[in-house]
Amino acid sequence: MTSELIINYRPHETRVALLENGTLVEFQVERGAQGAGLLGNIYLGQVIRVLPGMQAAFVDIGLEKAAFLYVDDVCSEAAADFEKRLGRAPDEKAGQAEAGEEDEEGLALTSPPIETLLAEGQEVLVQISKEPIGQKGARVTTHISLPSRRLVLMPTMTHLGVSRRIEDEEERRRLKEILESLGHGHGFIARTAAEGTGEIEIQAEAKFLLQLWRRIREDAETAFAPARIHQELDATLKAVRDNFTENIDRLVIDDPAQFDSIRKFLETFSPELAGNLGLYGGSEPIFHFAGVETELARALSKKVWLKSGGYVVIESTEALTVIDVNTGRYVGRHNLEETILKTNLEAVKEIAYQLRLRNIGGLIVIDFIDMERESNRERVFQALKDSLRRDKGKTKVLPMSELGLIEMTRKRSKENIDRFLREPCFYCQGQGFLLSRTSVCHEALMDLELQASENPSGLLKLTVHPQIRETMLDEGRTALEDLEKRLGRPISIKADEMLHLEEHVIEVIDG
């Protein structure tokens, strides 16, 4: 199997696609001047409300909505700060909570009541563990984790662990011994990329992370809440750090400056991978060239057709995602039970693929076509579990019920791409969805770039809905000016109220 990481970089948007055998399997997009999201950022926040009934607290970190902090995400260090403010000795139980036994899934913590740990007005250092999703604010934790290429530093813990994706027991023991030799009193996790890495390289990364943590603590001591203390890597370097491993055959990016940034990053942390880095120089936009745009359009469709003629329908609500499997045009060749089984098995692979591609998380209910035989229901259940093994998101799958339903959960830390790229439709009073105005603008700019590659000369005229023109000349002006500069010719933007909000027309005028 060949794997490629393709990065489409523009100042207003960074898009990252992971392809396996030419098929898009993961997609990430970050927008903004710096192309940076919130996940992993560290803030000095201020507790604005403690909720004993929910064993949680709201923390002001300077974002539009207050962040949510669960009691299990409050480390003993934060509790000690609270006890110090009250003039008491730190609670021994709070300190012991952090030293609980840990299994492959994480630490088993026993937390005291949150009202004994936090108080309104208290300043607390937190990290975003889940970005704001829908109407919910970000989820934060005081258990800070700082990742590098091969390690994760957990300064509030003492646990040492090795990625579960490293299966060789001898290698796991070797890495554990290296971590034990660091002797800094902090927790470390050896990431998948650490496999086969020498002790010197791992020690160097540990030193880098410890210096970073020291700087974060110093900055927090002089800051006033709410304040951002540490910004995670931008989307480009984060994708390289987290995804570009020996299992990826090639990384290609379409921006020379970002190419140089990645090259320097690799020379520092993974020189052995520098030879797999490439700069795309074609005139056609890189995602069009790689066929990614077609797969993205499919990922936004509610109905996904199967090769056999069956199809699955994916419908998301606030509480859960429902996936319905149907035979469609597939009638089979033999008996009904065989037809249903083949459709369900084909749907299993597509569902696992779509969950990963769309980054669907939370509670998921899959309505397979009813099967009479218990053996067939078990076969579909096992096939789904096997298909989810390549998914980085943690999943839990319950056996199929007699009604053909499978309930499962999938952990996600970011908004799924459907909700990120689209917004409620005002044409139908929110009963459906439209592409957001920003997404329509970016789509029009990409089509302009494609037309320019096919027509090297002439004036480019873009006609859009009036609201899209307003958005493009306001928040999208920087992106428009960037495109004009790269193409070396002006772009005329006209409005036509007869056009649908998602429609646009491009003309190339000679002379």
Domain ranges of the chain: 3-36+249-293, 42-230, 300-417, 436-509
Distance, in Å, from the CA atom of 476 to the CA atom of 451, rounded to the nearest integer, reads: 19
Which CATH superfamily is 42-230 part of?
A: Nucleic acid-binding proteins (2.40.50.140)
Please say whether the beta carbons of 151 and 202 come within 8 A.
yes
User: pLDDT > 90: what percent of the chain?
Assistant: 44
Whether domain 3-36+249-293 has CATH 3.30.420.60: the reply is yes
Query: Band of the pLDDT at 397, cuts 50, 70, 90?
Result: very high
Q: What mean pLDDT comes out for the span 18-36?
A: 76
Please say whether the beta carbons of 480 and 473 come within 8 A.
yes
Q: What is the pLDDT of residue 151?
A: 92
In the sheet that 187-190 helps form, which strands lie side by side, from edge to edge? 146-147, 151-154, 187-190, 160-162
The pLDDT tens digits for 51-96 are 998 899 999 999 989 999 999 899 766 555 544 444 444 343 333 3
Residue 380 clears pLDDT 90, i.e. is over it: yes
Distance, in Å, from the CA atom of 299 to the CA atom of 310, rounded to the nearest integer, reads: 17
Q: What is the pLDDT of residue 94?
A: 34
Q: What is the pLDDT of residue 82?
A: 46
Confidence (pTM)? 0.68
Query: Band of the pLDDT at 437, cuts 50, 70, 90?
Result: very high
Beta bridge partners of 128: 140
Which residue carries 């992106």 as its tokens?
A: 479
Q: Three-state DSSP class for 319?
A: coil
Q: What is the pLDDT of residue 406?
A: 94
Q: What is the pLDDT of residue 391?
A: 83
CATH architecture for segment(s) 436-509: 3-Layer(aba) Sandwich (3.40)
Residue 326 clears pLDDT 80, i.e. is over it: yes
**Is the model more confident about 320 or about 110?**
320
Please say whether the beta carbons of 78 and 111 come within 8 A.
no
Tell me whether residue 88 is exposed, middle or buried, using C-beta atoms within 10 angstroms of its C-beta: 0 to 12, 13 to 18, 19 or more.
exposed
